[in-house]
Amino acid sequence: MRAGHSVRVVHQDRTERPFLVIWEATRACALACVHCRAEAIPDRDPQELGTEAAFALMDDIVAFGKPPPIFVITGGDPFERPDLADLVRYGKSIGLPMAVSPSATQALNPVSLAAMRDAGLTALSLSLDGSTAEVHDAFRGIPGTFQRTMDGWNAAREMGLKVQINSTVTLANVHEMPEIASLVRNVGAMTWSAFMLVPTGRGTNLDAPSAAQVEDIMNFLYDMGQIVPTRTTEGHHFKRVSYQRDVLSKLGLDPVAELGLGSLYLSLTEQARDLGLVEPQRVRRAPLNVSSGNGFVFISHTGEVHPSGFLPISAGNVNSSTLRSIYRESELFAGIRDVTLLKGRCGECEFASICGGSRSRAYAASGDLFAEDPLCGYLPGSFKAGLETAGSG
């Protein structure tokens, strides 16, 4: 299956060089988020990579070649590290595009953001899981995080920093999505990323939408792509949905009827219409052909290397091996890139080469890295409308 323009292609060998590198600089964080992958703790781990080790890691990333991967420092809360500005400054000096993903604590303020910008920061990502303080603060476990997020968002935009907004989607907040999209449109963001829940860390206590509801959510996100820049995290089948919707649009067919979309899609669409999120305001950007272990790599606070931050299987440690050798040569990374190893519906799916399903969610649900993604409701071979155009473009 080739997706044509429905998926943006990274023009580099993803088996040789990642497009995006995420480093969990610390697990220390003052918040108590109910969905936290890292199960963040109040204090820093003494086994964290120190400043010099972090510099060495960044040197290793630059050695992948040009263009260099985007480097994101996440946590926990990166602001818990007193050397954060030094880390950003060093990365900038060796040519890495630097981004930070902070928590909405008191450290997220105009002074600290200006210091990061002056050190060379170009982008940051902020989490917004509700359109009101009531909903968002319930996720974060600490009152005031919604307002600090909004203040930090506005301050970063005024400073010229690019901002990505991340929203975890659960049954408790799924109906907030149109309101969040409206905030993204009004305040402005580089990207709005909807995170499809993986039952790991504290996220095991949350209720995920059903596979059928996720289809509705993905199609709603596709619609919003002409209003705000949308993408997904651990929602690999968004690429398949984008392909299907592009085909249906070209054929002039109704996606509700053709894809069997349900009441959640209709409800979200109606809410969006009431908020004026209807008239196209931008050209939709297709999702990237980047996925866990295939253009993407995650390094833990202690140096363990994972295909995804939501997949608790290590391929090696940067304290004893180079990131380049682990990414290029490890059995784990090689296996996760091989779609012929997929099982169940993922193994039978004609969209496997552009999707492949969430390996993190498959592993969390079944213990089998190559099992089918439980939050994908697609029946392989059922999209008959694409037969005439499949493989073209």
The per-residue pLDDT for 32 is 56
pTM, to two decimals:
0.92
Q: Which tokens is 172 given?
A: 């408790």
pLDDT digits (tens, 9 = 90+) for 119-137: 999 999 999 999 999 998 8
Average pLDDT over residues 205-219: 89
The per-residue pLDDT for 43 is 76
The per-residue pLDDT for 386 is 59
**Longest CA–CA separation in the chain, Å:** 59
The per-residue pLDDT for 205 is 54
**Percent with pLDDT over 90 in the chain:** 81
* Spatial CA neighbour of 1 closest among 289, 392, 391: 391
The per-residue pLDDT for 5 is 67
End-to-end CA distance of the chain: 11
CATH classification of the domain holding 275: 3.20.20.70
∠ CA 163-168-174, rounded to 5°: 115
Provide the pLDDT confidence category of residue 281 given band limits of 50, 70 and 90.
confident
Residue 220 is assigned to a structural domain of this protein = yes
Provide the pLDDT confidence category of residue 392 given band limits of 50, 70 and 90.
very low
Residue 343 is assigned to a structural domain of this protein = no
Q: Which tokens is 378 given?
A: 């697609």
Domain span holding position 78: 12-291
Per DSSP (E only), the strands in the chain are 20-24, 70-74, 98-100, 123-127, 162-169, 191-196, 230-233, 291-292, 295-299, 305-306
pLDDT digits (tens, 9 = 90+) for 152-202: 999 999 999 999 999 999 998 999 999 999 999 999 999 999 999 887 654
* Spatial CA neighbour of 25 closest among 42, 8, 3, 47: 47
Residue 16 is assigned to a structural domain of this protein = yes
- Domain total for the chain? 1
The per-residue pLDDT for 199 is 74
Average pLDDT over residues 198-219: 80
The per-residue pLDDT for 393 is 32
Lowest mean pLDDT, pick from 190-204, 284-298, 310-324, 348-362: 190-204
Residue 328 is assigned to a structural domain of this protein = no
Residue 353 is assigned to a structural domain of this protein = no
Residue 312 is assigned to a structural domain of this protein = no
Provide the pLDDT confidence category of residue 15 given band limits of 50, 70 and 90.
very high
Average pLDDT over residues 368-384: 96
The per-residue pLDDT for 206 is 63
Residue 340 is assigned to a structural domain of this protein = no
- The per-type count for the chain, helices as H runs and strands as E runs, is 14, 10
The count of other CB atoms within 10 Å of the CB of residue 380 is: 15
The per-residue pLDDT for 18 is 97
Burial class (CB in 10 A: 0-12, 13-18, 19+), 52: exposed
Residue 317 is assigned to a structural domain of this protein = no
Query: What are the CA-CA distances from residue 152 to residues 108, 118, 147, 323 (Å)?
Result: 6, 16, 8, 33
CA distance 309 to 318: 15
Instruction: Please give the backbone phi and psi of residue 337, each rounded to the nearest 5 degrees, phi first.
Output: -90, -10
- Res. 335: pLDDT tops 70: yes
**Percent with pLDDT over 70 in the chain:** 92
Averaged pLDDT of the chain: 91
Average pLDDT over residues 47-51: 96
The per-residue pLDDT for 34 is 55
Average pLDDT over residues 60-84: 95
The per-residue pLDDT for 388 is 47
